[in-house]
Structure 1
Amino acid sequence: MRLVGLPPVVSDCTVVLVLGSFPGAASLKAQQYYGHPQNHFWRILQSLWPQHPLPPAGPQHYAQRCAWLLERRLGLWDVYASCEREGSLDTSIRHAVVNDFAQLLRECPGLRAIAHNGGESFKHSAAVRQQWAGAYPGAQVQSVRLPSTSPANASWSFERKQTAWAELMAAHGLL
């Protein structure tokens, strides 16, 4: 069965784009990025900005969570627009179609970094940069592989993930 991803969460103030591979089954069902309750994504970000309380989880608060991200000058999207996959693991992704990143840059003129949330997303970092370079030859957008916030990435502790994410946000003036 062909699955379709979620729309980007970006604004013209987005400085760092968090780029996953493709939403897991729980996220697709909820129509929310990082909707699995055991994913560390939202918990890591809240730990980086403790002075700005993150709206609670749940469908009634998702729009507020997205606004919270945008206020921090973060954006969200995925490498894949659609794919075939059983379950939620990246290793099960088949026949994927890559998103249009050149178009996204038009919506994010201040973008300075792509935070690839895990290895599957990072595998496409060169293709993403190539799309941007073709459309915007002078664009300087850094690609950084961050440890996946997925519960499947048990080899990294929460603290180690948090440190890596904090370093990137600090490097781009977001902390």
Structure 2
Amino acid sequence: MNPPAASATAASPMLTGLAPVVSPGTVLLVLGSFPGVRSLELQQYYAHPQNQFWKILQAVWPEVPLPSGVDSYAQRCRWLLDRGLGVWDVYASCEREGSLDSAIRAPVANDIAGLHLPKLAAIAHNGGESFKHARHTRTLGVPVYQLPSTSPANASWSFERKLAAWREVLAAHKLVV
């Protein structure tokens, strides 16, 4: 007798996201949706090599090299914070198979208001799934932006077009000249 086939609707495991990368000096908080598989494995934001998050920020600030290498994540986070950026996700946990936002099920939202960032001047949602929470982030009383996703799944935007959009928001808050 053969064992029963696995159900396609079987519940995915509940996944827990990453802690926020913020400081009292955070001016702009970048909110993703939820870390991808590679980011969860490494416990690092935007760890997938095809994600353009770090490449875009390096292009915004080319005069200050972004730390690289296997053990450079803590230095990358410091690099980010030194520029007034913070990173977190709108979801604290969810069920999901793979890394696609479209596969997110049973999400639990993070308490973004609970961060208490005294210099926060704006929130930038990294992609459409994150931006679905803009009605909540707008209650914080700062401008809220939707930026094009840096995910490799967002192939309809060129690197140059993404960079221009990101640079415009950062410049609006005097994080770049």
What TM-score, normalized by structure 1, do the two folds share? 0.92
Shift of 1:73: 0.4
Query: Residues 123 and 137 of structure 2 are in contact (CA less than 8 Å); yes or no, is this contact kept in structure 1?
Result: no
Query: In the alignment, residue 114 of structure 1 is paired with which amino acid?
Result: I
Query: In the alignment, residue 156 of structure 2 is paired with which amino acid?
Result: S
Task: Name the SS for the 1:170 alignment partner.
Answer: helix
Which of 125, 132, 143 is the matching residue for 1:123? 132
Query: Residues 131 and 146 of structure 2 are in contact (CA less than 8 Å); yes or no, is this contact kept in structure 1?
Result: yes
The yes-or-no answer on 1:33 pairing with 2:45 is yes
Query: How many pairs were matched up?
Result: 164
Shift of 1:57: 4.1
CA-based RMSD of the aligned residues comes to 0.8
Q: Which has the larger radius of gyration?
A: 2
d(CA) in 1 for partners of 2:22 and 2:156?
A: 30
Task: Name the SS for the 1:166 alignment partner.
Answer: helix
The yes-or-no answer on 1:8 pairing with 2:29 is no
Report runs of 4+ in structure 1 exceeding 6 Å deviation.
none
d(CA) in 1 for partners of 2:170 and 2:80?
A: 12
- Gap regions ≥5 residues in structure 2: 1-12
Shift of 1:127: 1.8
The yes-or-no answer on 1:71 pairing with 2:72 is no
Name the structure 2 match of 1:109.
Answer: 118
The yes-or-no answer on 1:62 pairing with 2:62 is no
Task: Name the SS for the 2:54 alignment partner.
Answer: helix
Name the structure 2 match of 1:17.
Answer: 29
Task: Name the SS for the 2:50 alignment partner.
Answer: coil
Name the structure 2 match of 1:47.
Answer: 59
Query: In the alignment, residue 71 of structure 1 is paired with which amino acid?
Result: D
Shift of 1:39: 0.3
- Gap regions ≥5 residues in structure 1: 133-139
Normalized per residue, the structure richer in helix is 1
Query: In the alignment, residue 67 of structure 1 is paired with which amino acid?
Result: R
Task: Name the SS for the 2:18 alignment partner.
Answer: coil
